[in-house]
A and B are shown apart, each in its own frame.
Chain A
Amino acid sequence: MIKILKKYEDAIYSLAAILLAFLVGAVLIQLSGFSVIKAYTALFDGAFGSVFNLTQTFMNTIPLIFTGLAVAIGFKSGLFNIGGEGQMYLGAFATAITAIYLGFLPGYILIPLALIMGGFAGSAWGFLPGYLKAKTGAHEVVTTIMMNYIGILATSYLLLKYFKEEGPIPQTVLIPESARLPELIEYSRLTWAIFIAVFVIIIIDIFFKHTKLGYEIQTVGENRSAAEYAGINSNKMMVFSMMISGFVAGLAGSTIVMGVLHRFITNFSPGYGFTGIAVAVLGKNKPWGVFFAAILFGALQTGGITMQLFAKIPMDLMVVIQGLVILFVAAPILIKKLLRK
């Protein structure tokens, strides 16, 4: 029994943190003069209450799976990749341009190609901070933040300069039908991207559990001295992990372009790259942990809409609950103490 508990220790603490966050959230809702029951009913209903709501939850979950995974992969080698946002913009941009300019290709070639180009673009954006860290020791937190600005503004510049659609909106033309990911349910915008996301989770899980490269990257993250002692080139591993991380973050952008927006638009992201950090923290940097954490955040986002629309509770309270979840996860000592008493 204790052994089983130990195995799921992380999951249990995360669940406790979520519960606690909702409890504190309830107090805040009550204090703000709203009905807790009404609020949480609307929240749950909005996230899971109907097939359509469920599809919206999963639609919101997909980019968070990718950006959350990206942060988790960085963590594996001991690096804190805050650059998911910029890597995602690069990915989205590369995917859109590929899909538009190679639109004559059939879908079964174009879709994988556009995805891979998006991944590579994100990967290139991850490579740079990794390389700088390895060569000069420049701290990745600083460089990835900088790379976010450069990425977001550079794509915006290129768009306006070379790829903008006629008209007032800073966006590309629509990508061809053949490059769009098919919807699972009509009008839901929930597309095959969910399968791509799950596929990537499986690959990353296997990668870290069963491959040599995955093992070496993790060893660098767990104990860099020991890795060097064991003949592992830790610099190389850090660059690799940043590239893989960037690739996955790039896919977040690719799937948004191919599944939701069908074009690249400047400032399309409400900060998926940053929410990814929270998702990774809640998911304890484990691929499947990230999956469930992303669903939670996707559900809060989607349910929050209903809560705002029909229970008239401001969206900000949703953001507060999200913040509380992270606070309680990041403060496991506090939780452990509370549980002991």
Chain B
Amino acid sequence: MKKVFVTMLILVFAVCVFAETNVAIVFATGGLGDKSFNDAAMEGMKMAKKQYAIEYDFAEPSAITEYETYLAQFANSEKYDLIISIGFDQADALTKISERFPKQNFAIIDMVVMNPNVASYVFKEQERGFMVGYASALMTVKTDDVRINEDKIVGVIGGMKIPLIDANIAGFMTGVNYADNGVKAIHSYVGHWADPAKGKELTLSMYEQGADIVWGAAGRSGLGVINASKEKNFYSIGADSDQGYLAPENVLTNGMKRVDNTVCIAIKDVIDGKFEGKIYSLGIKEDALGYSVNILPEDVISELEIVKKKIIAGEIEIPATIEEVK
């Protein structure tokens, strides 16, 4: 604890003297242009530069084995106030490097590394699930829309049965129940992060069962969900980033994971001297999760804004496991 305190003191001192914060970021192997995590994180860096006048350097490793090299090079230069790792597969490398450079501050997004000099930023996944679940329940009763059928059924497809995905699903179901209008939520899993064909197949089978809005929380497999909705003309919901461009007429909204905002939050903590090597759980309140407007009708949006405020105020309890959903 003392160590952390001293580090913080030095940091505060450094910030005061140079009045400039240097941040380095190591992207995931997809590199820039992935229209996903890396691009969003880069947006965050640009935002931080604008808002807090930081300077940044970035690295685009081409292989998993290069993470350590880049992290070590950045840390070794002793130039940076914070080094950010993007993507969960950097955990191994960051664990080792953060041990090796105990005085260097690191942050990792969407993954946990339990070292005193690493701030881990994870998300209250159930909160975004709640938002899109609630939106779905409100939409599926609007039967005058050609994309909506008579059945009051909505669905969610998870990539794999893991706690993170189940939290999303639990949130979704809670959101549907919260609307309290007799809508039923069904769910299933692809079992793979990158199998759009299977994702599509599952979506179509949900559609057969009467679901007219399906959320794909399944990585690349989620592309199959959007494809299916485009083909049969019903609604789908995207995940993580705005996927509306894939099917502008069918992507209702997106369960957004605001990596850009998260990056900004991590940087701001360092600037404010509040860096701490612990797990941060971010959600709607921090604007780290949310929904996108896309083709949502006005009335639904205003309803969503109301529940959003309630979530921020802590008035709604959202369970993180399916078992806890009533």
Contacts and interface: CB of A to CB of B under 8 A. Distances in A.
**A–B touching in complex (CB under 8 Å):** yes
Interface stretch (A26-34, A66-74, A304-312, A324-332): A304-312
A167 B162 CA distance: 7
B64 interface: yes
B281 interface: no
Interface stretch (B41-49, B88-96, B251-259, B265-273): B88-96
B76 interface: yes
Contacts, number: 59
B27 interface: no
Nearest to B29: A267
B129 to A, nearest CB: 16
B70 A305 contact: yes
B193 interface: yes
Given A56-B69, A169-B88, A309 B63 contact: no
A231 interface: no
A265 B59 contact: no
Contacts of A168: 88, 160, 162, 164, 193
Contact of B63 (A189, A270, A302): A270
A262 B96 CA distance: 12
B205 interface: no
Nearest to A53: B73
A248 B57 CA distance: 38
B39 interface: no
Interface centre among B29, B73, B76 (most CB of A within 10 A): B73
B72 A52 contact: yes
Given A160-B192, A187-B96, A309-B57, A265 B62 contact: no
A261 interface: yes
Contacts of A263: 92
A265 B64 contact: yes
B62 A262 contact: no
Contacts of A167: 88, 162
B162 to A, nearest CB: 6
Nearest to B79: A310
**Range of interface residues on A (Cβ < 8 Å):** 20 to 34
B60 A315 contact: yes
A170 B68 contact: no
Interface string B158-181: 001010100000000000000000
A65 interface: no
Interface in B87-111: 88-89, 91-92, 96-97, 100
B66 interface: yes
Contacts of A187: 72, 96-97, 100
Contacts of B60: 308, 315
Contacts of A189: 68
Given A160-B192, A187-B100, A268 B162 contact: no
Given A168-B88, A265-B89, A305 B73 contact: yes
Contacts of B134: none
Interface centre among B64, B74, B88, B193 (most CB of A within 10 A): B64
B193 A170 contact: yes
Given A168-B162, A187-B96, A308 B59 contact: yes
A267 B65 CA distance: 11
A256 interface: yes
A268 B63 contact: yes
A132 interface: no
B100 A169 contact: no
A157 to B, nearest CB: 9
A269 interface: yes
A169 B66 contact: no
A260 interface: yes
Contacts of A269: 63
Interface in A297-341: 302, 305-306, 308-310, 315
A305 B193 CA distance: 30
B322 to A, nearest CB: 17
Contact of A268 (B57, B64, B191): B64
A170 B160 CA distance: 11
A270 B66 contact: yes
Nearest to A161: B191
Interface in B183-204: 191-193
Given A261-B65, A315-B62, A309 B73 contact: yes
Interface in A249-297: 256, 260-263, 265, 267-270
A262 B64 contact: no
Contacts of A169: 88-89, 91
Interface string A226-244: 0000000000000000000
Given A166-B162, A167-B162, A309-B57, A256 B76 contact: no
A310 B57 CA distance: 9
Interface string A55-71: 01000000000000000
Interface in B47-61: 57, 59-60
A171 B88 CA distance: 12
A81 B148 CA distance: 56
Nearest to B91: A169
B198 to A, nearest CB: 12
30 contacts: A52-B76, A160-B191, A167-B88, A167-B162, A168-B88, A168-B162, A168-B193, A169-B89, A169-B91, A170-B193, A171-B89, A187-B96, A189-B68, A256-B65, A261-B64, A265-B89, A267-B29, A267-B64, A268-B65, A270-B63, A270-B65, A305-B69, A305-B70, A305-B73, A306-B73, A308-B59, A308-B60, A309-B74, A310-B77, A315-B60
Task: In the A-B complex, list the 4 residue pairs whose CB atoms are closest, starting with the nearest.
Answer: A270-B63, A270-B62, A187-B100, A268-B64
Interface of A: 52, 56, 160, 166-171, 187, 189, 256, 260-263, 265, 267-270, 302, 305-306, 308-310, 315
Interface of B: 29, 57, 59-60, 62-66, 68-70, 72-74, 76-77, 88-89, 91-92, 96-97, 100, 160, 162, 164, 191-193
Given A308-B60, A315-B60, 4 more contacts: A168-B162, A270-B62, A309-B74, A315-B62
